[in-house]
Amino acid sequence: MSAGENGDSAGRINGIKSALRVIPNFPKPGIMFQDITTLLLDPKAFKDTIDLFVERYKHEIISVIAGIEARGFIFGPPIALAIGAKFVPLRKPKKLPGEVISEKYILEYGSDCLEMHVGAVESGDRALIVDDLIATGGTLCAAMNLLERAGAEVVECACVIEVPELKGRERLRSHGKPLYVLVESQFLKGTLMATESQEEEEKMLMGKSISRVEVKNRLRQSFASFIDLN
């Protein structure tokens, strides 16, 4: 489900979308990075972002908000404070002091790991997972595994931005969990504009030298290899 399906929130969603910016060729050539820091510079748009999540979850009896390091730490706590839930940071290895549980997950090249404190979450807790952006859904799935191993029920995953081409929503669906986002990014169209030459771009757009499926696959590979830049 995406926000904006309710008329009242459409105006706020447009304001939020216009506050985002795309940084070409970060962290490497060909990638169009969706930057939420400009949203944080707009107090109204930032407040609207939090309000939209709070309106959705305040009556859902959520007892835990888990935020994924580091941009999930920016959105999760204000939501937790507004709905009276605990906030639990999910972190890269060796950052959390004390006893932790770890969940390894696969990246395009290699693997990464997410950790949660033992005892932060209890059996029966109802949890929401928050991050700024969902790409392939790999990090969110690792997060869900941590919470479920601790006995919590994951109610939903919530992100500001979804990159639909990377099929995170489907991956979460395979895990049996829904996804809620405010904004879908125009990743593919934007990325085509970051190609090296005008000629290559034109060929791609006209489908003459490279099929659209092939373009998507190449872009998905190059994007997926960095997406865990938390």
- Catalytic positions are 71, 108
Tracing tokens 């969990």 back to the chain, one arrives at: 177
The smaller minimum CB distance to other proteins, of residues 85 and 215, is found at 85
Buried b (16+ CB within 10 A) or exposed e, 119-155: ebbeeebbbbbbbbbbbbbbbbbbbbbbbbebebebb
Distance CA 140, CA 134 (A): 8
Least Cβ distance, residue 70 to other proteins (angstroms)? 5
Residues that bind other proteins (CB under 8 A): 21, 23, 26-27, 33, 35, 37, 40-43, 46-47, 50, 69-71, 73-75, 77-78, 80-81, 84-89, 91, 94-98, 117, 120, 229
Distance CA 226, CA 230 (A): 9
Least Cβ distance, residue 212 to other proteins (angstroms)? 27
The smaller minimum CB distance to other proteins, of residues 97 and 124, is found at 97
Least Cβ distance, residue 138 to other proteins (angstroms)? 19
Of 38, 71, 100, whose CA–CA distance to 158 is shortest? 71
The smaller minimum CB distance to other proteins, of residues 5 and 99, is found at 99
Neighbours of 15 (CB within 10 A): 15
Least Cβ distance, residue 71 to other proteins (angstroms)? 8
Kind of pairing between the strands at 126-134 and 153-162:
parallel
Are the C-beta atoms of 150 and 126 separated by less than 8 Å? Answer: no
Least Cβ distance, residue 73 to other proteins (angstroms)? 4
The smaller minimum CB distance to other proteins, of residues 87 and 223, is found at 87
Distance CA 124, CA 133 (A): 27
The smaller minimum CB distance to other proteins, of residues 11 and 26, is found at 26
SS3 194: coil
